[in-house]
A and B are shown apart, each in its own frame.
Chain A
Amino acid sequence: MWENIKQFASEFFVTGDPLIYGADVSIALTMIAIVFVLTKYKKWGWLWREWLTTVDHKRIGIMYLIASLLMLFRGGVDALLMRLQLAFPNMEFLHSEHYNAIFTTHGTIMILFMAMPMMFGLFNMVVPLQLGARDVAYPFLNALSFWLFMLGAMLFNLSFVIGGSPEAGWLSYPPLSQNDFSPGPGQNFWIWGIQISGIGSLATGINFIVTILKMRAPGMKLSQMPLFSWSVLSSSIMIIFAFPILTVTIALLFLDRFAGAHFFTMDGGGNPMMYLNLIWMWGHPEVYIVVVPAFGIFSEVVATFSRKKIFGYKSMVWALMAIAVASFFTWAHHFFTMGTSASVIAFFAISTMVIAIPTGVKVFNWLFTMFRGRISFKQPMLWTIAFIPCFLVGGATGVMLAVAPADYQYHNSYFLIAHFHQVLIGGVVFGYLAGIYYWWPKLFGFKLDEKLGKWGFWFWNIGFYVCFMPQYALGFMGMTRRYYTYGWDRGWADMNLVSTVGAFMMGIGFIFQVWQIAYSIKHGERDKTGDPWNARTLEWSIPSPAPFYNFAVVPTVKDSDDWWATKQAKANGTYKEEPVHLEPIHMPKNSGIPFIMSLFWFLVGFGFTFGWVWIAVIGFIGVFACMWVRSFQYDTDYYVPVDEVRRTEASLGRVL
Chain B
Amino acid sequence: MTQHENHGDHHNHGSLKSYVIGFILSIVLTIIPLVLVMNQMMSKTATLITIMVMAVLQFVIQLFFFMHIREGEKPRYNVQTLILGLVIVLTIVLGSIWIMTFNKY
Contacts and interface: CB of A to CB of B under 8 A. Distances in A.
A547 to B, nearest CB: 15
A241 B100 contact: no
A446 to B, nearest CB: 29
A329 B1 contact: no
Interface in A129-151: 134-135, 137
A344 interface: yes
Interface string A323-342: 00100110110000001110
Contacts of B77: 213
Interface residues of B, number: 20
A369 B102 CA distance: 48
Given A134-B1, A281-B92, A339 B102 contact: yes
A586 B1 CA distance: 6
B46 interface: no
A111 interface: no
B1 A340 contact: no
A131 B47 CA distance: 51
Interface in A58-85: none
A287 interface: no
B102 A135 contact: no
B85 interface: yes
A588 to B, nearest CB: 8
A604 to B, nearest CB: 23
Contacts of B95: 277, 281, 331-332
B53 interface: no
A214 interface: yes
Given A281-B92, A586-B4, A241 B85 contact: yes
Interface string A114-142: 00000000000000000000110100000
Interface string B4-26: 11000000000000000000000
Given A278-B96, A586-B4, A325 B102 contact: no
Q: Is the interface of B mostly helix, strand, loop or mixed?
A: helix
Given A241-B85, A586-B1, A587-B1, A340 B96 contact: no
B38 interface: no
A329 B3 contact: no
Contact of B102 (A237, A331, A344): A344
A278 B3 CA distance: 38
Interface in A435-485: none
Nearest to A210: B3
Given A325-B84, A328-B88, A273 B2 contact: no
Contacts of A652: none
A277 B99 contact: yes
Given A273-B103, A340-B103, A135 B85 contact: no
A274 B96 contact: yes
A237 B85 CA distance: 10
Contacts of A586: 1-2, 4-5
Nearest to A134: B1
Interface in A248-273: 271, 273
A344 B103 contact: no
Interface string B61-105: 000000000000000010000001101100110011011111100
Contacts of B88: 241, 328
Contacts of A344: 98-99, 102
A637 interface: yes
Nearest to A344: B99
B66 to A, nearest CB: 15
A341 B103 CA distance: 9
Given A274-B96, A328-B88, A339 B4 contact: no
Nearest to B74: A213
A191 to B, nearest CB: 21
A341 B2 CA distance: 55
A245 interface: yes
Given A281-B92, A586-B2, A587-B1, A274 B84 contact: no
Contacts of B85: 241
B100 A341 contact: no
Contacts of A340: 99-100, 102-103
B18 to A, nearest CB: 19
A332 B99 CA distance: 8
A241 B5 CA distance: 31
11 contacts: A134-B1, A214-B3, A237-B84, A241-B88, A277-B96, A278-B96, A325-B87, A339-B103, A340-B100, A341-B101, A586-B4
Closest 8 CB pairs of A and B: A341-B102, A586-B1, A340-B102, A241-B88, A340-B99, A344-B99, A328-B88, A277-B96
Interface of B: 1-5, 77, 84-85, 87-88, 91-92, 95-96, 98-103
Given A277-B95, A587-B1, 14 more contacts: A135-B1, A213-B77, A241-B84, A241-B88, A245-B92, A271-B100, A273-B103, A274-B96, A281-B92, A328-B88, A329-B91, A340-B99, A344-B98, A344-B99
